[in-house]
A and B are shown apart, each in its own frame.
Chain A
Amino acid sequence: MASKQAKPEDEGFEVIYRRLEAAVTKLEAGGLTLEQSLALYEEGMKLARRCQEFLQSAELRITRLQESFANGLSVVRDETPAYLPNTESETEPTELPLE
């Protein structure tokens, strides 16, 4: 399981990625002292590493909506068994079997 789901929302991939973008933009803009510049580079490096961890270790999660009458018709999510990627070659979307 990817580690991101365990982390709070503000630590999601996009937040880290945007922080990396901001650090790089600031570095590129220049006008920094040597110390600031190196500190910023160090931060960017850590952020980049975290981004790569997200990207390389993620596993698709699949949940499914269910109506819960107990909770007054609210919508709840149900974890379904992990999706097993089809190993066959990719195919065009096929016709739906008649339901």
Chain B
Amino acid sequence: MIEATTVSALARYLKDLLESNLTLTNLWVEGEISNLTRSTRGHVYFTLKDANAAIQCVMFQRQYRGAPLESGAQVLAHGNVSFYEQRGNVQLIVDFVQPAGVGALQAEFERLKERLAADGLFDEGRKRPLPAFPARIGVVTSPTGAVFHDICHVLERRWPLAEVVLAPTTVQGFEAAAGITQAIRQLNQLDDVDVIIIARGGGSIEELWPFNEEIVARAVYASAVPIVSGVGHETDYTIADFVTDVRAPTPSAAAETVAPDWREISRRVQGMLLTASFAARGTLSQGLIDIDRDGRRLHSALPDIARHSERLASLLRHGASAVSRDLDQQLERTNSFTARLAALDPRATLARGYAVVQIRDGKQAVTSTKQVKGRDRLDVHVKDGRFPAEVSRQYGF
């Protein structure tokens, strides 16, 4: 005996059947829009048709986002086929629409770009700075192509301090997206990689497609290590380029971006050493001035100054040999400094007939008429020693 089923059960079965069919999910359909209507809740209903057939479509309000829907327009629609139980209709639930003529891949690119942007994968705020001095640079690319060779060539020239860790993967064809994803994960697993380059040489949109796949975008997004992309030529943009921390126009440019130039860093080190030597000289000069003010130490400190000055000169010579390019310049500066130091020597000043006058109790040097009044006791330093003095009784009254 045949048992009767209910309409609801049949409708449910049809819905399950359609929604579980892989051919009917995640598909693109090209056709002309007709019967375009919009419900009060913002959902859009239309029919997609061509010369011989038609299919009902719905685009829900949250997916609509100003899609280019217009009666008579030829479009590419993306979505899933389903069964609307209440009305017994087969319909395409559309989540993205592109004008026809851009090609299915380009349409898919735009769809993914919009979706991942909405998910926050492209947010500028999460882009991380690249390490200043990468010790380990992971490279995700094909082990056989010219790309890895080009990258190593740039790194050897600019930043040979690094270790390059190749995570080999095919970068073209069906397995490429999974391979790239896995390579990114493996480099993250190592725990000691400072930055990752994902790279591929130029090609058609089909050949670059793995870098537009959602799993690659998600893997880049999930990477704890900053990633630089160098995919294709200058004009090629892939989805991965939008997610990576930095997008470089080519694989070689990605290597340039990642690696500082060792010559530039070397110049910076030399510059720091020069700055340090100036600062050290500054302290020495300041020391002289302080001693000049402190009359009591005037004579006893001079041998110290001479010793420090010699030590500094010797240090500068050593410093200069550490940065051999600057040797002559350093020595010249040291010599000119020694000359300036001699000019600063307070003994030379005193020998010319000048004196340092100091308040006896406060010890500060007298540089202004306002510092003293009548009967103040002073010490006067001259070339061969000092003698006491007193300000005239009437001064200041």
Minimum CB–CB distance from B132 to chain A (whole Å) comes to: 7
B173 CB–A CB distance under 8 Å: yes
**A14 CA to B194 CA in the complex, in Å?**
12
Residue among B157, B170, B283 facing the most chain A CB atoms (10 A cut-off): B283
* Binary contact readout B212-239 vs A (1 if CB under 8 angstroms, 0 otherwise): 0000000000000000001000000000
Cβ–Cβ < 8 Å partners of B135 in chain A: 12-14
* A45-B201 contact, Cβ under 8 Å, with A32-B283, A65-B165, A99-B142: no
Which residue of chain A has its CB nearest to the CB of B192?
A9
Cβ–Cβ < 8 Å partners of A72 in chain B: none
Cβ–Cβ < 8 Å partners of B318 in chain A: 45
Cβ–Cβ < 8 Å partners of A65 in chain B: 165-168, 183, 186-187, 190
Q: Which of B146, B280, B284 contacts A93 (CB 8 A)?
A: B146
A: contact size bracket: 35 or more
Stretch in B121-129, B267-275, B353-361 touching the partner:
B267-275
Q: Which of B157, B252, B279 contacts A85 (CB 8 A)?
A: B157
Contact status A55-B308, CB under 8 Å: no
Contact status B146-A94, CB under 8 Å: yes
Which residue of chain B has its CB nearest to the CB of A51?
B269
Cβ–Cβ < 8 Å partners of B280 in chain A: 27, 37-38, 40-41
Minimum CB–CB distance from A3 to chain B (whole Å) comes to: 11
Q: Which of A30, A90, A96 contacts B200 (CB 8 A)?
A: A96
**A27 CA to B273 CA in the complex, in Å?**
11
Which residue of chain A has its CB nearest to the CB of B161?
A58
B147 CB–A CB distance under 8 Å: yes
Stretch in B25-33, B86-94, B148-156 touching the partner:
B148-156
* A93-B250 contact, Cβ under 8 Å, with A60-B162, A65-B187, A99-B172: yes
**A13 CA to B194 CA in the complex, in Å?**
14
**A96 CA to B150 CA in the complex, in Å?**
11
Minimum CB–CB distance from A11 to chain B (whole Å) comes to: 12
Residue among A27, A80, A91 facing the most chain B CB atoms (10 A cut-off): A27
* A48-B187 contact, Cβ under 8 Å, with A55-B161, A60-B152: no
B327 CB–A CB distance under 8 Å: no
Cβ–Cβ < 8 Å partners of A55 in chain B: 161, 262, 265-266, 269
Q: Which of A42, A48, A62, A90 contacts B272 (CB 8 A)?
A: A48
B287 CB–A CB distance under 8 Å: yes
Contact status A97-B144, CB under 8 Å: yes
B20 CB–A CB distance under 8 Å: no
Contact status B168-A24, CB under 8 Å: no
Which residue of chain B has its CB nearest to the CB of A61?
B163
B276 CB–A CB distance under 8 Å: yes
Interface residues of A (CB under 8 A from B): 2, 4-5, 12-14, 17, 20-21, 23-24, 27-28, 30, 32-34, 37-38, 40-42, 44-45, 48-49, 51-52, 54-56, 58-65, 67, 74-75, 77, 80, 83, 85-86, 90-99
Q: Which 8 A-B pairs have the closest CB atoms?
A: A49-B322, A37-B283, A96-B145, A27-B279, A41-B280, A58-B160, A96-B201, A61-B163
7 interchain pairs (CB within 8 A)?
A13-B135, A60-B162, A60-B163, A60-B164, A93-B251, A99-B142, A99-B145
